[in-house]
Structure 1
Amino acid sequence: MSDILGVTAQKVMQDIQQLLADGQFGEEGRLPPERRLAERFGVARNTVRQALIKMEKEGLLLRQVGRGTFVKQVSAKEAAQPWTLKDASPTEIMEVRLIMEPHAAALAATRANSHELSRLKLALDKSLKAEDIQEFESWDAEIHLGIFEATKNAVLLHYCKEINAIRKQPAWFELKKRSLSPERRHLYNRQHRSLVGAILARNPDEAYRLAREHALEVKVNLVGE
């Protein structure tokens, strides 16, 4: 089973986590049966099961045969582990991209130097000529990296590198591959061409609009509305 949850299962997982945080499962920490959780959230039992399996893999729950599913008690060391961007869901990642990437594109349109613009054009050309999804995805990431480098903002650049690291994970690649039909790839190519063109033309307003349009299209195709 893939580690990437569907949108509904991801929402169920978030709802269960909120119930855990609110202490809704008593001192024993025992969760209701899958059937009752499915009824509570108005979803299929299989959707609940996917969310519980994911939470168990992440060390949040302990499933005991014949006894049920329990909140896992964590050690002080485990509790101190910092949250990282790699812990985010695809929906969360795409929501942040939708916020960050238009602003980065607008900044790049006003700050990019000639070397950075040349790199952007090269990455765009390579992505348009990519022979398979893996090569396309690699140059797609380079286009976005080039835009963030051109912002001259170290925080934005660090964010982009973190996103690109997530995109290299097998589960994320499989999600992208399933959503990337030939028609969508042609659409992304057109959007990339227009976006890079706006940056080359030093048009921050158009770069913002096109980057947001592209990020929204990718979000809908990957995780839904």
Structure 2
Amino acid sequence: MTRQRITNEIRSALEEGIEAMMAAAADRTGAKLPTERELAERFQVTRHAIRQALERLEAKGSLWRHVGRGTFRGRRSEAEPLAADVTDFCSPRHILDARRMVEPSLASLAAVNATPSQIAEIQATCRRCAAARNMDDYEVFDEAFHRAIAQGSGNPLATELFETVNQARKKIVWGAMRRAVLRPDRRAFFSEQHREIVEAIARRDAHAAWQAVMSHMETVAQTYETLRQGEPFIV
């Protein structure tokens, strides 16, 4: 059996499993699904695999999603307002600029406000990200790392801003950059920058945390720019 065939079988089984779970949970349109993280744990797959399955099920009309509110069974009701997708008007540069504005401040707040358990989660996701052996695992833990920092900020509105920018990042920037950016050497360099961010947050140094994330954002921006221009990437 080929690897591609196995992959297709797993994808089909995952979609069938999610549809069966939705049917068992509630026999009505509008029932809310568990989060991507909960689904990944339930089906023992990566969040990237869950995200792809949800995208295919949404295209089939089995469910619909609303950033910041969740994923719901059935087709979107006509009464449900369909907000304009801001990503339709964004470029990768817009996303990178937004990350520069949001994420350094979140890290600065986390250095001040994060609880010991939240700092432990930031440290744990940093280690998992550094230990990732493939792009799928790295992507999952990289997202979890930045989300843990946002949650450690203690500001739910700022955390929601992070989620909005993160959704746009995955749609506009990450999809195009993913394979080029996540080579082992670049993953290692990004992981070292993550470690510097964690150390600043753990010692409650808000200014150093802000600077460490800004440095990370500048590296991401440089990476994207060199890829866009077709130039070799040098760190």
TM over 0.5: same fold?
yes
Residue pair 1:86, 1:166 contacting (<8 A) in 2 also: no
Aligned counterparts of 1:171 and 1:216: Cα–Cα separation in 2: 15
Residue pair 2:91, 2:172 contacting (<8 A) in 1 also: no
Residue pair 1:113, 1:150 contacting (<8 A) in 2 also: yes
Q: 1:220 to 1:197 in 2, by over 3 A?
A: same
Aligned counterparts of 1:168 and 1:180: Cα–Cα separation in 2: 14
Aligned counterparts of 2:83 and 2:95: Cα–Cα separation in 1: 20
Alignment partner of 1:131: what SS? coil
Residue pair 2:103, 2:162 contacting (<8 A) in 1 also: no
Aligned counterparts of 2:202 and 2:190: Cα–Cα separation in 1: 18
Identity %: 24
- Cα deviation, 1:84-127, whole Å, max 9, x if unaligned, reads 24642111000111121111111110000011111111111111
Higher relative contact order (CA 8 A, sep 6+): 1
Unaligned residue ranges in structure 2 (runs of 5+): 1-81, 229-235
1:139 corresponds to: 141
- Shift, 1:211, TM fit: 0.5
Aligned counterparts of 2:175 and 2:143: Cα–Cα separation in 1: 12
1:208 to 166, 186, 210: 210
Q: 1:81 to 1:102 in 2, by over 3 A?
A: closer
1:114 aligns with 2:116: yes
- Shift, 1:165, TM fit: 2.6
Unaligned residue ranges in structure 1 (runs of 5+): 1-79
Aligned counterparts of 1:171 and 1:103: Cα–Cα separation in 2: 21
> Given the two structures, how large is their TM-score scaled by the length of structure 1?
0.59
Aligned counterparts of 1:206 and 1:81: Cα–Cα separation in 2: 38
Bigger CA radius of gyration: 1
> Given the two structures, how large is their TM-score scaled by the length of structure 2?
0.57
1:99 corresponds to: 101
Q: 1:85 to 1:148 in 2, by over 3 A?
A: farther
Residue pair 1:112, 1:150 contacting (<8 A) in 2 also: yes
Moved over 4 A (4+): none
Residue pair 2:126, 2:194 contacting (<8 A) in 1 also: yes
Aligned counterparts of 1:133 and 1:203: Cα–Cα separation in 2: 31
- Cα deviation, 1:15-68, whole Å, max 9, x if unaligned, reads xxxxxxxxxxxxxxxxxxxxxxxxxxxxxxxxxxxxxxxxxxxxxxxxxxxxxx
1:188 corresponds to: 190
Alignment partner of 1:184: what SS? helix
Q: 1:187 to 1:157 in 2, by over 3 A?
A: same
- Shift, 1:187, TM fit: 0.8
CA RMSD of aligned residues (A): 2.3
Q: 1:203 to 1:91 in 2, by over 3 A?
A: same
Residue pair 2:98, 2:165 contacting (<8 A) in 1 also: no
Residue pair 2:107, 2:206 contacting (<8 A) in 1 also: yes
Q: How many residues align?
A: 146
Q: 1:165 to 1:82 in 2, by over 3 A?
A: closer
